[in-house]
Amino acid sequence: VPLELRKYVLNLLHEPHFGLEKTKCRARQLVYWPGLNKDIENCITKCSVCEYYQSSNVRQPLIPHKIPNLPFNKIAADICEFGGKSYLIVQDYFSRWLEILPLRNKTSEEVIGKFKSL
């Protein structure tokens, strides 16, 4: 894209105010110039409409993970609350097996004990 048309193209790409990741994806499908991603970031951070409507809880792009060869070689864990009670959630990446373990209190000793009981 010629230098003199870049601002016009940026405005067209950003016209629907999709946000940073969707605008970058759309741009990759249609146009290219060196520094395009940086130009898109600058355009969106200066946009008053996007700033006004920007969600405070923006979704982060997903990070791919390698699937292990055996069960419980790699797990995901989190502590959550539901109905006023705390739970330790553990999921195996290989089998996607899910364990939901109730917690009386969220101390490190109790969490470690729950992990050892698996």
Across the chain, which has 118 residues, the per-10-residue mean pLDDT values are 92 90 92 94 89 72 88 94 95 95 94 93
Residue 45 token pair: 């951070």
Burial class for 18, CB neighbours closer than 10 Å (0-12, 13-18, 19+): middle
Whether residue 61 is contained in a domain is answered as: no
Q: What pLDDT sits at residue 60?
A: 78
Q: What is the helix (H) or strand (E) element at residue 10, kind and residue range?
A: helix 6-14
- Residues 42, 80: one domain? no
Contact call for residues 78 and 91 (beta carbons, < 8 A): no
Whether residue 81 is contained in a domain is answered as: yes
- Residues 7, 49: one domain? yes
Q: How many domains, the chain?
A: 2
- Residues 48, 79: one domain? no
Whether residue 59 is contained in a domain is answered as: no
Domain extent, residue 87, equals 75-117
- Residues 12, 49: one domain? yes
- Residues 49, 11: one domain? yes
Q: What pLDDT sits at residue 52?
A: 81
Whether residue 89 is contained in a domain is answered as: yes
Q: What pLDDT sits at residue 56?
A: 63
Whether residue 60 is contained in a domain is answered as: no
- Residues 46, 81: one domain? no
Whether residue 41 is contained in a domain is answered as: yes
Whether residue 87 is contained in a domain is answered as: yes
Q: What pLDDT sits at residue 118?
A: 86
Whether residue 63 is contained in a domain is answered as: no
Hey, CA dihedral for 61, 67, 73, 75, is it positive or negative? positive
Q: What pLDDT sits at residue 55?
A: 66
